Amino acid sequence: MQGFVQMIVSQFATHEKATETFKTGKGRPWSDQPQCLFCGTDRFFRPGYQANLVDNWIPALAGVEAKLKAGAKVADIGCGHGSSTVLMAQAYPNSTIHGIDLHAPSIEEAKSKAAAAGVTNVEFQVAKAQDFEGRGYDFACMFDALHDMGDPVGAARHIRETLAPGGTFMLVEPMAGDSMAENMHPLGQIFYAASCTICTPNSLSQDVGRGLGAQAGEKQLAQVCREAGFTQIRRAAETPTNMVLEVTV
Ligand SMILES: C[S@@+](CC[C@H](N)C(=O)[O-])C[C@H]1O[C@@H](n2cnc3c(N)ncnc32)[C@H](O)[C@@H]1O
C-alpha cells in the first residue's frame, strides 16, 4: 500500500494539471507524470506479481511453464520498471525475457533493477507496443498496461504477429466487472480515480485514443483481443486486484 500512497502523492502534487486535463479531455502522456508515480506504480503492483506470477499465473496457462523452463523467447510489453521482467528472468534462466516500454526513463530503471538482481537473460527496448522489434516470441505478456494504451487493438495485433506458432499472450489487467455498477466498491473506486487522472488521459494522448481505462472489464478486453485477430480468450486466473487472460490464436 506504500506504493499506492506514492501514487496519490504524485497526483496531489500535480492536481492542477490533472484538473485541466480532465476539463479539456486532451490527454496527458505517461511521460508528463511525476517520477513518484512511476516508482509508486511499480511498488504497488510488484507484490502481486511476486506472489502470483511464477507460482500461479504462468502455471495456469496451457503449456507455457514447460516452454519457459526449457528456454523460450519472451516479450514483456509495457514493462515499466521491469519487476515482472526480472521475476521471469530469475525463475526461468534458460529463457530470454525482452522488456519493452515506450517510456525511456522506465527502461533505464528496469535495466538498473535487472543489473542489481544479477540477471543476464534480459534485453530491453524503448519501443511502442504497436511496433516493437523481434519475431518468434513463444510467450508475450502485458501487466496492467493495455488499458493505458491509445491503440490497444494495434498493440494486440502486433503481439499476435510477433508470436511464434502456438505462442500465448498473457494479458494481466486490473480486476473489474463489465458494468460500472459492479465496480462501485472501495477498490473499484480507487481504480476509477487513478484511471481518470492517469490511465485514460495517457490513452487519449496516443494515436487512436480508445480510452479503455483501468476498469475496462473482461468483455471489452476480450473484444479488443478479437479485433486484433485472436480467437481464444479465457480467464486463467484472478486475484482480488488482477484478472489474467490467456489469449491465443
Ligand atoms: C501502469 S504502467 C505498468 C507498468 C508495469 N507493467 C507494471 O505492472 O508495473 C503502464 C506502462 O505502459 C507503458 N505504455 C503505455 N502506453 C504504451 C505503448 N503504447 N507502448 C508501450 N508501452 C506503453 C507506460 O510507459 C507504463 O510503463
Task: Please give the domain boundaries of the chain with CATH numbers for all domains.
Answer: 48-248 (3.40.50.150)
Q: What pTM did the predictor assign?
A: 0.97
pLDDT (0 to 100) of residue 214: 95
pLDDT at 181: 95
Q: How far apart are CA 236 and CA 238, in angstroms?
A: 7
Residue 72: predicted pLDDT: 98
Sheet holding 232-238, edge to edge: 122-126, 96-101, 73-77, 137-143, 163-174, 242-248, 232-238
Q: What is the pLDDT of residue 1?
A: 86
| CA 201-149-230 angle, 5° bins | 150
Closest atom of ligand 1 relative to the 151 alpha carbon: 19
Q: What is the mean pLDDT of each run of 10 residues along the chain (249 residues)?
A: 92 94 94 95 95 98 98 98 98 98 98 98 98 98 98 98 98 96 93 95 97 96 98 96 96
- Pick the closest to residue 223 from 183, 163, 171, 182 (CA basis): 171
CA of 29 to the centre of ligand 1 (A): 11
- Closest residue by CA, ligand 1 atom 27: 80
Atom of ligand 1 nearest to the CA of 143: 6
CA angle 144, 145, 147 (to 5 degrees): 100
Protein residues whose CB sits closer than 6 Å to any atom of ligand 1: 30, 41-42, 45, 78-80, 83, 101-103, 106, 128-129, 143-145, 148-149, 202, 206
